[in-house]
Amino acid sequence: MRAINKIIIHCSATKEGNNVTASTIDQWHKNRGWKGIGYHYVVAIDGSIEYGRSIYETGAHVKNQNEGSIGICYIGGLGPSMEPKDTRTPEQKESLLLLLKTLKKMHPEATIHGHNEFSAKSCPCFNAYEEYCNI
Q: What is the pLDDT of residue 2?
A: 85
115 labelled catalytic = yes
Respond yes or no: is residue 41 known to be catalytic: no
Q: What average pLDDT is seen over the chain?
A: 96
Cα–Cα distance between 56 and 9 in angstroms, integer? 18
Is residue 123 part of the annotated active site? The answer reads yes
Give CA–CA dist 130/126, Å, rounded. Answer: 9
Catalytic annotation, pick one of 6, 10, 29, 113:
10
One-letter amino acid of 15: K
The topology under which CATH files domain 6-132 is Lysozyme-like (3.40.80)
pTM for this model (two decimals): 0.95
Q: Which is catalytic among the residues 39, 41, 74, 132?
A: 39
- pLDDT at residue number 46: 98
Q: How confident is the model at residue 50 (pLDDT cuts 50, 70, 90)?
A: very high
Known active-site residue 39? yes
Q: How far apart are CA 115 and CA 83, in angstroms?
A: 17
Question: Is residue 1 pLDDT above 80, yes or no?
Answer: no
Domain borders along the chain are: 6-132
Given the residues 40, 61, 115, 132, select the one marked as catalytic.
Answer: 115
Let me know the angle formed at the C-alpha of 36 by 122 and 8, rounded to the nearest 5 degrees: 35
State the catalytic residue, choosing from 11, 73, 123, 125. 123
